[in-house]
């Protein structure tokens, strides 16, 4: 049987770990989206070698498990002079992982802008930068938003992997409680509850943004 009083007793300790998960998640999502936008723009406007190098790197990231990338950075980093503490290492790995996926989503968004929308701006004398800012980016934002929200939720699930390099986040804190008290069921129940709460919060934000964009009738179905 689930013991509610045990769950309540653990709450204060777990809240601290939840805060760690939440901030690492939010930071890696924000930095990841920023990196994704940067990568997408560099691939679009940069010289061809840059495009190819980024394409190769993205395929490497997307083609391997996050756990492997995290180990490579944390344990392999010192061999190339990159010794990071668990939290910065985890944040960096998660940001790179997120940026790779986000950049592909954003690139797809740019491809979905009809060329005629860009031509209409060019005919009116918009510069490339003005067209990007006033026409392309708003259209891309509306089209990619649902996919970005999805990816951000996947990113939350990957934060659990950071426990293997001893980042004091939710999964690590709760498995510690579980193995000390042998109350694994309660601990896992608590864990699921917290992740569910975080995902719901993200979903609410996403739906709010989508509702605002839906006014234009450009949000993806």
Chain residues that interact with other proteins, rule: CB under 8 A? 114, 116-117, 119-127, 130, 134-135, 138-139, 142, 213, 215-218
CB of residue 219 to other proteins, shortest distance in Å: 10
Whether 101 and 151 have beta carbons less than 8 Å apart is answered as yes
Cβ closest to other proteins, residue 12 vs residue 115? 115
d(CA 144, CA 103): 11
Q: In sequence order, what are the residues at sequence separation of 6 or more whose Cβ sits closer than 8 angstroms to the Cβ of residue 20?
A: 87, 167, 168, 169, 170
Burial of residue 143 (number of CB atoms within 10 Å: 0-12, 13-18, 19+): buried
Whether 97 and 60 have beta carbons less than 8 Å apart is answered as no
Cβ closest to other proteins, residue 138 vs residue 168? 138
Buried b (16+ CB within 10 A) or exposed e, 176-187: ebbeeeebeebb
Cβ closest to other proteins, residue 118 vs residue 202? 118
Cβ closest to other proteins, residue 4 vs residue 125? 125
CB of residue 216 to other proteins, shortest distance in Å: 5
CB of residue 125 to other proteins, shortest distance in Å: 4
Cβ closest to other proteins, residue 13 vs residue 120? 120
Whether 171 and 191 have beta carbons less than 8 Å apart is answered as yes
CB of residue 56 to other proteins, shortest distance in Å: 29
CB of residue 146 to other proteins, shortest distance in Å: 16
Cβ closest to other proteins, residue 117 vs residue 207? 117
CB of residue 119 to other proteins, shortest distance in Å: 5
Q: Which residue has the tokens 């509610």?
A: 4
* 127 CB-side CA count, 13 A: 3
């Amino acid at each position: 049987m689930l013991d509610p009083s045990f769950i309540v007793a653990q709450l204060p300790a777990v809240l601290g770990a939840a805060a760690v998960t939440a901030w690492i998640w939010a930071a890696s999502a924000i930095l990841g989206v920023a990196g994704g936008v940067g990568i997408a723009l560099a691939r679009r406007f940069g010289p061809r070698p840059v495009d190819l190098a980024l394409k190769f790197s993205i395929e490497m990231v997307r083609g391997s498990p996050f756990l492997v990338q995290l180990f490579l950075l944390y344990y392999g980093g010192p061999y190339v002079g990159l010794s990071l503490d668990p939290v910065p290492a985890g944040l960096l790995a998660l940001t790179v992982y997120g940026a790779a996926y986000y950049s592909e989503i954003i690139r797809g968004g740019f491809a979905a802008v009809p060329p005629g929308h860009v031509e209409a701006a060019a005919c009116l004398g918009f510069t490339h930068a003005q067209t990007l800012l006033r026409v392309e980016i708003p259209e891309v934002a509306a089209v990619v938003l649902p996919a970005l929200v999805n990816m951000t939720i996947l990113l939350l699930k990957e934060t659990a992997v950071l426990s293997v390099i001893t980042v004091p986040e939710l999964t690590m804190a709760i498995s510690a409680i579980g193995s000390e008290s042998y109350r694994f069921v309660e601990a896992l129940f608590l864990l699921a509850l917290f992740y569910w709460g975080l995902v719901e919060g993200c979903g609410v934000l996403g739906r709010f943004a989508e509702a605002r964009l839906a006014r234009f009738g450009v949000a993806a179905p």
